[in-house]
Structure 1
């Protein structure tokens, strides 16, 4: 069902927007940050951004070590991800391969947030955080910057103006940490950082997805489709739980009760807007 796909994709996309001001990813126009990775994943992660995060480049060079049932598995990774608005390129330097795609329902999630007042945006953000079992714990200083300390789904993060300077996560006994070593907010970033390498052959992932998956465009017909789809999404978001569960199990037979309940709680928050 198209409406279910839009509902889930829009919720996920919006989660990356609601903590910021309107549709900007960060509240700092440009900058650079380098993290040390520790725990089961060791190495470094570097991030460059411009236009308040609409342009984003991330490079990870890491080693993942997992021990289970006496078996040790070690995997090395060198990945590059570039995002320019809704366009995404990924490069796997270990296999010298790449992909290109679009962020699903990028326009839809932006439209939804743009139509909210500042107070509605704040309320929606807080409600979704609560539905996910998260909380704002305190305000702390890290690297000399005043950060909001957030905890959600086993992950604790130190956030400065939408930028995560530190995070710790422990899931099933596996600990992963990201800690900023270098942070340069406001630093100008060369446009070349957001240009995909030309020596890589990119597989177009859009060709492998069903028609309409990537959301609307700016033409009138698609805008009409968007409005009709959102009416259906609102209807789904206000279903009684028993009906919602039955619908989700029909579309996703392997989905657990816990997963369905979590999605239901998020859709209730969404449907109230």
Structure 2
């Protein structure tokens, strides 16, 4: 259902954009930053021990519209079976990049890059919410609660408890995280942090690996073109009856033709509802 998923993604983004495609995406309340982290993993599972460590580098500019993270980690699992000890070590090296809605994940083990569309970034392009308010609403929607404040590297952080994980957040940027799951505790904490500084473009380069585009991927130009076309046609779509829309939608689309009337009706109703939300009706 590739075309349906793309269509609904675009409409959701249109609803959140509130008619202003020129809104500047602000994921953080600081314009730029460079943060270095260290991670410690420890715990017991099924009678064995797990220990690990890792490092992470975060670079961002333009309020987080452009961001790159590089993570390296190593984990050792020690198990005992009938008095014999078995040790297994695994490692990981990844790099992820967000660019105004485009998402790329590079895996240094497989030497591939996966490209996708980050709908969350598109939905944050809202004219009536700043980064702090949008972030707080997102945390609360996930059941999160603010449980205090603490200074990390001299930055006053809000402490949020979200789904059993504690996050220390400074102006939208995570500076510390503690999570325990299935007996394994992971602690990630910033070892250095600089904000509102110059960040060189070279820090956002991905490795020269082949790119695999996921279903529904569009680059920013393609996505914005789809938004503009959808915006221009929304009034006409809203006026269509179900039968009129069904005839138009299934005319040249084999995937739509395979949908039942119930599925088509659900899609039609969702589209109409989102258009009304978009127009503030």
- TM tier, smaller: 0.5 to 0.7
User: Relative to structure 2, which stretch is displaced further, 136-145 or 98-107?
Assistant: 98-107
Task: Judge conservation of contact 2:148–2:160 (CA < 8 Å) in 1.
Answer: yes
- 202, 205, 209: which one aligns with 2:210: 202
Gapped regions of structure 1 (runs ≥ 5): 15-21, 230-250, 252-269
- 117, 135, 139: which one aligns with 1:103: 117
Alignment partners' CA distance in 1, 2:129 and 2:98: 27
SS of residue matched to 1:223: helix
Counterparts in 2 of 1:218 and 1:4: CA distance versus 1, 3 Å: closer
Alignment partners' CA distance in 2, 1:75 and 1:63: 6
Structure 1 position 218 matched with structure 2 position 225: yes
Q: 1:59 maps to what in 2?
A: 70
SS of residue matched to 1:218: helix
1:178-201 deviation per Cα after TM superposition (whole angstroms, max 9, x unaligned): 01111122231111111223xx23
Alignment partners' CA distance in 2, 1:82 and 1:131: 25
Alignment partners' CA distance in 1, 2:181 and 2:67: 27
Task: Judge conservation of contact 2:116–2:217 (CA < 8 Å) in 1.
Answer: no
1:148-180 deviation per Cα after TM superposition (whole angstroms, max 9, x unaligned): 111101110111111111110011211111011
- 87, 91, 95: which one aligns with 1:80: 95
Counterparts in 2 of 1:145 and 1:110: CA distance versus 1, 3 Å: closer
- 186, 193, 214: which one aligns with 2:196: 186
Counterparts in 2 of 1:130 and 1:56: CA distance versus 1, 3 Å: closer
C-alpha root-mean-square deviation of aligned residues, in Å? 4.1
**TM value normalised by structure 1:** 0.63
After superposition, where does 1:235-254 map in structure 2 within 5 Å? Answer: none
After superposition, where does 1:105-184 map in structure 2 within 5 Å? Answer: 105=119, 108-111=122-125, 113-114=126-127, 116-117=128-129, 122=133, 128-184=138-194
Report how many aligned residue pairs link the two structures.
Answer: 216
Alignment partners' CA distance in 1, 2:78 and 2:67: 33
Counterparts in 2 of 1:68 and 1:126: CA distance versus 1, 3 Å: farther
Decide which structure has the larger Cα Rg and report it.
2
Gapped regions of structure 2 (runs ≥ 5): 17-23, 43-51, 239-262, 264-276
